Amino acid sequence: MTDLFEATSPHDPRVARGADGLLAAFNAAGVVDAADVRVAERVAALGGEDDDRVRLAVALAVRSVRGGSVGLDLEALPDLSQVVEEVGQRPSRDALAWPDPAEWAAALAASPLVAAGVVHHELGLVYLDRYHRLERQVADDLRARTALGPPQVDEAVLAATLERVSGEHLSAEQSAAVVHAARHRTTVLTGGPGTGKTTTVARVVLALADQFAPLHERRMSIALAAPTGKAATRLQEAVAEELAALGALGDGPGQVATPDSMTLHRLLGWRPDNTTRFAHDRSNRLKHDLIVVDEASMVDLTMMARLLEAVRPESRLVLVGDPRQLTSVGAGAVLSDLVAGFAGHPDSPVVALTENHRSTEQIKALALALRDDGPDAADGVLAALRGGTGEVEYVETDDPVTALRARITTAALEVRTAAVDAGPAAAIAALERFRLLCAHREGPYGVQVWNRHAEQWLAAELGAPLGSAWYPGRPLLVTSNDYALDVYNGETGVVVPDASGRPRAWIAGAGAPRPFAPARLGAIETMHAMTIHKSQGSQADEVVVLLPDADSRLLTRELFYTAVTRAKERVVVVGSEAAVRAAVDTTAQRATGLRQRLS
């Protein structure tokens, strides 16, 4: 809630002209913008509400949703008013007349908007009806699945499956997760990168298929889904590979066909005419007997509600993700709420993997330090950074341009050389070796500036301008789904010239990379640098994390953790000690009521 704006003029589109009372004052101070004010005015007018404090609460609730919360936390308002006073230099901000919290709550209790169910005041949050309904629905649907009781388990078959899938690639906790999934209708499988979530999912798929077939006298129908196409494809490839290694991929008895994989949007039946409703819902449920959703930390409240209403009560649902990662772009913090909300429940669906099987020791130590919730966590993280010898490197500088030029130029040159001399597969492989991650899109620490730096340095190295925007070796990031082309948000690629020298954008999505004429691709960006938000769900051998200034409002523990855990072999953190401390000491707080509803 700290991203206040400074209106540049009375014509600034964020200023709501014609507003009055508290709404006008809070808008002028940059606490709520014109869109928040308009919604509050309209809702109040329709509901016959003229109490200024309630109108303000509605505007702040709209603003809270924009910030990722599902409602307005009245309890946290003293913090908000303090922040406003600290940040605000103008008298209007200092003089904001924050309603007294007790009087405010009383005004809400007496409001016709609350009586009409347009606004709700519950669990300390002021909700707009839509988010209140979504949150209750998610909690109700999850509880209804539990209330059905545990599924029937053939213990002899389960023991035989465990025997079949055990070996060096099934630790005790992974085995326990497979058993958990067999015994629960809903499973929430959590773990950091490299903890073997995907490895375990393949075994869960097999265990559930083994249970299903004799009982239903048909094969289990399985869907693998994820918020992004890239993550869905990665999951499918990894699961198919694991099943094949176990001799369990195929059409024979005791085997599973390669499961379908798709984005959550596609699974639910995306409709071009409606962005929040899908073809599959409570009246037209999904046919699948097992639905696995990877990267569940990226699933927001709306999508989780749509998913849960579309899953048949008797179908199995497995949600997989890392609750320590950045939360979804849209409102809610569903995965971490599920973990916290079900903590201590005897029939909790949550099962955790903790042992990292992939990263190097130093990266593991750094990630572990970033999971420490104690008061000295920042010291621990700095010690892990400074004690690194190769796998973890800390470049403590306030001049990242000088510090990073050689590294970034080398990485860009490798992709370029591969694109020109060795073709698309080599160019894409080169791209996977190095990733520069930034917190911001704009500004001196932003992706746009660093993309420009990289292009200038590459041109200087080549001794010639890069020429066209579609220069060979330009790394690409797809930024929206194109269902017609089968190209999805988050997929990456490289420009490689064809035999006659024309540029082709090779996109690495499902299966082998595919070439496209540049003009066919709509939403595409250069990817010498990438935002940490966009990097979720992907990894690279070497990752450079460029930390912004310590006072950046994006700098949080979740952001830093997400960035560091993208690295497979080596991570370089660039930034000041103050920035590291600010990141570790700031946890992203979203006001949600789901964990309370579940506990």
Binding site: which residues?
191-198
485-490 own/partner pairs: CB under 8 Å, 24+ apart: 485/516, 485/520, 485/521, 486/510, 487/229, 487/516, 487/521, 488/228, 488/229, 488/230, 488/263, 489/228, 489/229, 489/523, 490/228, 490/229, 490/230, 490/231, 490/534, 490/537, 490/538
Binding mask 318-347 for ligand ATP (x = CB under 6 A): ------------------------------
Residues 498-517 that bind ligand ATP (CB under 6 A): none
Cα–Cα distance for residue pair 582/578, rounded to 1 Å: 6
- Between 169 and 285, name the residue whose CB sits nearer to ligand ATP: 169
- Between 44 and 365, name the residue whose CB sits nearer to ligand ATP: 365
- Among 430, 481, 433, smallest CA distance to 230 is for 481
Residues 135-194 that bind ligand ATP (CB under 6 A): 168-171, 174, 191, 193-194
AA identity, residue 459:
A
Least distance to ligand ATP from the beta carbon of 166, Å? 10
AA identity, residue 531:
T
Q: Could you tell me which residues come within 8 angstroms of residue 154 by beta carbon, excluding any fewer than 6 positions away?
A: 211, 214, 215
Torsions phi, psi for 399 (to 5 deg): -125, 70
Least distance to ligand ATP from the beta carbon of 168, Å? 6
Binding mask 470-499 for ligand ATP (x = CB under 6 A): ------------------------------
Cα–Cα distance for residue pair 101/121, rounded to 1 Å: 13
Least distance to ligand ATP from the beta carbon of 195, Å? 4
- Between 23 and 165, name the residue whose CB sits nearer to ligand ATP: 165
Least distance to ligand ATP from the beta carbon of 31, Å? 39
Cα–Cα distance for residue pair 595/191, rounded to 1 Å: 19
Residue-by-residue DSSP string for 2-32: ------SSTT-TTS-TT--HHHHHHHHTTSS
- Between 64 and 199, name the residue whose CB sits nearer to ligand ATP: 199
Instruction: Please tell me whether residue 556 binds ligand ATP under the rule CB under 6 A.
Output: no
Instruction: Please tell me whether residue 357 binds ligand ATP under the rule CB under 6 A.
Output: yes
Residues 56-95 that bind ligand ATP (CB under 6 A): none
- Between 145 and 234, name the residue whose CB sits nearer to ligand ATP: 234
Cα–Cα distance for residue pair 431/416, rounded to 1 Å: 10
- Between 43 and 248, name the residue whose CB sits nearer to ligand ATP: 248
Q: What are the Cα distances from residue 531, in Å, to 2, 99, 223, 475, 576?
A: 21, 38, 29, 14, 19
DSSP state of 219: P
AA identity, residue 484:
A
- Between 198 and 451, name the residue whose CB sits nearer to ligand ATP: 198
Binding mask 187-206 for ligand ATP (x = CB under 6 A): ----x-xxxxxxx-------
- Between 116 and 352, name the residue whose CB sits nearer to ligand ATP: 352
Least distance to ligand ATP from the beta carbon of 568, Å? 9
| Contact (Cβ atoms closer than 8 angstroms) between residue 71 and residue 127 | yes
Instruction: Please tell me whether residue 575 binds ligand ATP under the rule CB under 6 A.
Output: no
Least distance to ligand ATP from the beta carbon of 199, Å? 3
Q: Could you tell me which residues come within 8 angstroms of residue 156 by beta carbon, excluding any fewer than 6 positions away?
A: none
- Between 355 and 393, name the residue whose CB sits nearer to ligand ATP: 355
Least distance to ligand ATP from the beta carbon of 220, Å? 21
Instruction: Please tell me whether residue 568 binds ligand ATP under the rule CB under 6 A.
Output: no
- Between 169 and 581, name the residue whose CB sits nearer to ligand ATP: 169
- Among 27, 105, 30, smallest CA distance to 72 is for 105
Least distance to ligand ATP from the beta carbon of 193, Å? 3
- Among 154, 584, 514, smallest CA distance to 366 is for 584
Least distance to ligand ATP from the beta carbon of 175, Å? 9
- Between 194 and 490, name the residue whose CB sits nearer to ligand ATP: 194
- How many beta carbons lie within 10 A of that of residue 587, not counting itself? 10
The Cα angle at residue 332 between residues 326 and 37, in degrees rounded to 5: 115
- Among 71, 152, 151, smallest CA distance to 119 is for 71
Instruction: Please tell me whether residue 358 binds ligand ATP under the rule CB under 6 A.
Output: yes
Q: How many residues bind ligand ATP (CB under 6 A)?
A: 15
Least distance to ligand ATP from the beta carbon of 16, Å? 44
Torsions phi, psi for 409 (to 5 deg): -65, -45
Least distance to ligand ATP from the beta carbon of 191, Å? 5
Provide the token pair at 474. 């330009």
Binding residues for ATP are 191-198
Q: What are the Cα distances from residue 269, in Å, to 264, 285, 484?
A: 8, 11, 14
Contacts with ligand ATP, residue ranges (CB under 6 A): 168-171, 174, 191, 193-199, 357-358
